[in-house]
Structure 1
């Protein structure tokens, strides 16, 4: 008995059918049964029929596409392709173009008027997969300018015949080969719907947007083929079982005339319809599947592909999570505690106060201490409340006029990196050790001779000397470390207490532009703070000529201070008389002549 692989209807009814068999034979049947049988040179994989020329195309495990003319009853010259073998062949009913999908993931189209190839595209390169094959191929016969290509990795690529790149890529998320593709015209919309099938699921979706309309996942066996009744919503699936399940989808179209009672059944079901919710399932993306080490379950019944991820049973998810992260429960409980604490804090009535611009940390610390004291008083009973005088600084200092300048003037800002502050606040010193300081950023430690010798000797130590190495590390930690500044740029930044981390993270072009802008907009007469309380100011000296100063007239109508404003107008006679008597000093001038004029 011959094993039938595929069949092709040659007429409008069942009177003429061609069967592709597993023994490389093609059987032609009529109404009464088998009519004729012939063999092809290689193992056949797919067949297609051209009703215009009566040619039967046979795709086989060979680069050539065999042509059998049923009118003449003989083989015609084959169509040669560039693929090592042909998996699928399809023909458009509108323009008669023939397309072949090969093992190398490429699609090659032929014009039967010239019997030559007119184009070739690589679907494997566009989908991003390696070593994939074309397993299904179908033209859109409603408008005639689109073609759908199914790959062996579970992806559907929709091509426009006028473009070489796909306009849409749809992934079934199972990784199984696409078995069948169908374009279906619905009564609700002008654009057709796409029905793609693999061995796990039948997906119905919109080729324009890629949105899913519905999915069918049979539970009785793997899917082999799908049959859709034309211009209706009736769908039949061939599975690995004795029964053929039938599905009716009203959104695709009405029921056929011979089973019109399905319309009444669907109307009754809509009245008492219940929405199915995945209460016992957890949705995971592909990245989550990889983190839980469940990639081997893709394609099985334990993972249900949906949209961009999978649905998994919640109990199985908890077990996998416990194996992947044993401390997830502890982290969850800690998170719940933090949420409760934050909820209790949010329920309290808090007053939002604006912090000053100077010494913000000090002001925030004072306000926080006041809030904690108020919370402690609320927790204690009213009868046992005891008022105590607050020792030290309180939030009242923020409203005191005597200390107003401490939170407004930058000269009173507390330097938390200074040695005096760290000596008085040891806890702050520990906090600064935890975060990277400006010293580590702008300076490099100098390796001393003792440290270099200890490092070289440490490489040769054995496991017995491990405790000795620890003691040496403790001694080295107490030594005084020497640091060397990296360059002048880091030295200037350290003087101004500025970090260069954000500036170094910028690209080189942005850093150059910022430097040029800074140089063009530098303001003079700006005081910079240096170490040890020193100050630095930059200015531009200007030089004016004496003639220009003398010739300039005084502004605002005021004369410069001189002899005229003092009212000292000297005549020539008075001047000579004063010279004879030695000037105003009466002969006691600072000169050698004591103010007297020699005769």
Structure 2
């Protein structure tokens, strides 16, 4: 099956089914209207805009196919040492080329130099042969290059044609200058699998290579670092670079075409320019969140920090890069220097974390109530702040006691100017909930002094007042013996306050002396009072007529 996509519409244009698996294909014209397919059954099919047009069989199974446009010949390499040439102008096979690169198993790949039109072949013989199609009468290669390993991928630099990229079956990518027999750049793909595609970017600096497991882009001048590395979930078969843009398309063992956009390689193609807008938005988002990956492997240090690490001698070397008021230092080197300068830094960090954990657990327990701090003025403010702090937890408790612990409010509790007068009418109006205003110590002392100055009333005066208007409340059912018992109980029981009894003056026969009055004031009954009590009991049992009956 083959699918053709219209990039301007970002959709599939058509789809065709073939009778056999496609090994390779090439486009015969600048547009898509004429195509050539190399099939697994040794057949080359030619398709036009309408569909299938013509097919021809090659002597051996082919592995790769390429069109040489200057001579209109279709080169097919595969099993054996021969490279077959199908002339598209005459419609027939030309004499094959006998190569040494295919000795031992055949040729795996071929490439055309865009400048001098030389055709290069590479295969299991470990040799790259370059043939000049303008003079094939000698039946001999124009030049050879010994690689020493099976060659599985090959391409020329499209910029000047002086650089040749060769991929080997052992997982290496070699970059040659065609004027030299030694590679100036060697890259290990990493998996040890045969290289399936190796192409040079038009910027003249980067190489994109792939095997079945990974796709990598790297610089020819610095092969140890990758510009990007991708490991698809399925095996990769081929790579395609879209001109000099940053778009890389990969054909893999999946129904979908894999595509990757790398802004560092170049801008997006015109037909998908929206990719540039997407990347700009992503960069803006990363800059806002602080997730910048430009210097993720470096740490910024100042000269003072370098002196603390005893690393000031590296200034001026390639280990640090000067930037603004300091330097960028490799993160791994900085960590090693930090461990050497402070070998116990981790232990201190660990102890600090343990201490913070213990403090956090302690704060969750029930805390004992804090005592109020004694201050000169506004004691009530501190008491209320501590009560609020005991009801809250964490940051809320700290905020409640901030006014007490903050030195900025120190004068509020020391100077009389800031004293809050809770007796003031305006304060009571703004704080109606404060029903019992605080009493100062001076006010308490003054009240005591007033109590001391008051005159104690005379017991005789109290006795006379009670005799006039106080009504005695006595139980009429008790007899005299009970009265004696109650008097005894009154003597043995502690008296909380004086009990006064009203006595008629005429029943006493004479004016009581001061001693009797004092005894009565203290709540102790005399003989006269007992007699009067007995008389009142008798009268309480009488009727009204008996009471008013004359004696």
TM range (shorter): 0.3 to 0.5
Whichever of the two has the greater Rg, that structure is 2
Q: TM-score, normalised by structure 1?
A: 0.44
